[in-house]
Structure 1
Amino acid sequence: FLSAGGKGAAEALVAVAAIGGEGGAALSRRFGHSSPTVGYLVKALLQATPTQRRQFLSFVTSVPIVTPGQIEVVPVVNPSGDFLPMSDPCCLPRANTCARRLYLPKFESYESFCQVLWAVVREECRFKGFYEWRG
């Protein structure tokens, strides 16, 4: 990603394609492309600044640029397999950088998704993965 300016939607589509699938059509084996949470992620990346996109990639892959391979988006579930809502610090978005995997809880709105995702991504980048959420 470019450090300033960028190419707007074209640059964001690179991030979306890196997630897996042209335009986000095949984001995960466990999320359907019609999932609201996945839609929130795609919309957030399309509307993100170049800095936010770099931080997102760094959060999920530990590298702030697009690299070969896909990012798997996985729902946060309880032991019985139920999709957990974003309700407490146990259900925050998190990532496994080695596996290029992003874990997302269920969000009720795009606004709450953006507020939580970008706060977590920003602080994780700031503290290099050693950040404890305090609400």
Structure 2
Amino acid sequence: MKWNDLEQERCSVARTVSVIGDRWTLLVLRDCFLGVRRFEEFQQRLKISRPMLADRLAKLVEVGALKKLAYQESPVRYEYRLTSKGMDLYPIIMAIVHWGDVHMAGKAGRPLLHRHTGCGHLFDPVVVCSECAAGIHAKDVVVEKGPGA
């Protein structure tokens, strides 16, 4: 399996990795969910080279996860906003955050806490069955071939 061919694989993980499978793209997405929208702010926060950042933003725009909107006319400057397709990446980012909080935070503890505006409580993300709402764990799942197999 070649890196450049991942989007052609009949595997949803491989196809997703073809879009978000490098550290800079994941960090750009993290910042998008934290409200960052402008190129200079991404660059300042991430300390990433301009060409690398431009490449990652262009890829996310190309796949439809971000949209590029002009916010200034002279000179033209753009901001990047999550689309509904991009917003659907939130559970992935939250799963990575949770794993990092549990396994990588160290003695200092979690760097950020997440509060649900609906109920006001701090929370941990969980994966639940879309049908019965029971918690999902790897040992509780059997994989079957789907129509795209």
TM-score range, shorter chain: under 0.3
Greater relative contact order (Cα 8 A, min sep 6): structure 1 or 2? 1
What is the TM-score when the length of structure 2 is the normalising length? 0.22
| Greater Cα radius of gyration, structure 1 or 2 | 2
